[in-house]
Homo-oligomer: A and B are copies of this chain.
Amino acid sequence: MNLKTIVEAILFKSVKPLSAIELTQVIKRSIKTLTEDGKEVDEILAKVKEQDIVQALDELRDMLESHSIMLQEAGGGFRMVSRPEYTDYLAPLLGPVKPPRLSQPALETLAVIAYRQPISRAEIEAVRGVAVGGVLETLVDRGIIHVAGRADVPGRPLIYETTNLFLQHFGLNTLDDLPNVEELKRVQLPEKHQPTPEEQPELIDNHVAANQKEN
């Protein structure tokens, strides 16, 4: 038993991804319980620090090299996943119901939010040129974005940002891992000079709602 395999066991069993800090805490708590129960604990383990865990994670990654299981870092946490090339052999296990993929409008809306967060609904609509009310609701329901507060502008509109689940869904570790992040972050947002869909909210909302049903 060593730190590398302890980390492996924890990640194997954990329901959610764990950061190096969380892994350290889990191990520290276990060691505390072991000590209290009068069990002997390896001295190296007793003094475990976050940097030891980071090193153990690296070793574990190497150790899994020849396996169909790999270590993945996403959304600030580590987890064990099957390697993508094995996915064809797992299909029979998954059953007929596939998790719904994001629709094109949802993806476009999400892209705008991802690069420009926090962002209000009106700002998203200015970029996309269509109403996004229904799409925003879907994304919030799926836990991919959430309301981050209100903008400090007249009307104090709600502003949205992506969640950790967003990072996990797209296999990103941080927002800086977004493709072309530098370029898209800098682009000048169009101002709301255009008569945006907001001016005919009902009409458009109905349209979007009807559209989404179709997708």
> CB within 8 Å of B: which residues of A?
1, 5-6, 8-10, 12-15, 25-27, 29-30, 33-34, 39, 63, 66-69, 80, 82-83, 85-86, 88-93
Contacts and interface: CB of A to CB of B under 8 A. Distances in A.
Contacts of A29: 91-92
A9 B92 contact: no
19 contacts: A5-B67, A5-B68, A6-B68, A6-B86, A8-B68, A9-B82, A9-B86, A9-B90, A10-B89, A10-B90, A12-B68, A12-B69, A13-B90, A15-B93, A26-B93, A27-B89, A29-B91, A30-B88, A33-B91
Contacts of A92: 25-26, 29-30
B1 A86 contact: yes
A34 B88 contact: yes
A89 B93 CA distance: 29
Contacts of A1: 68, 85-86
A5 B86 contact: yes
Given A67-B63, A85-B1, A93 B14 contact: yes
Contact of A89 (B15, B26, B91): B26
Contacts of A88: 30, 33-34, 39
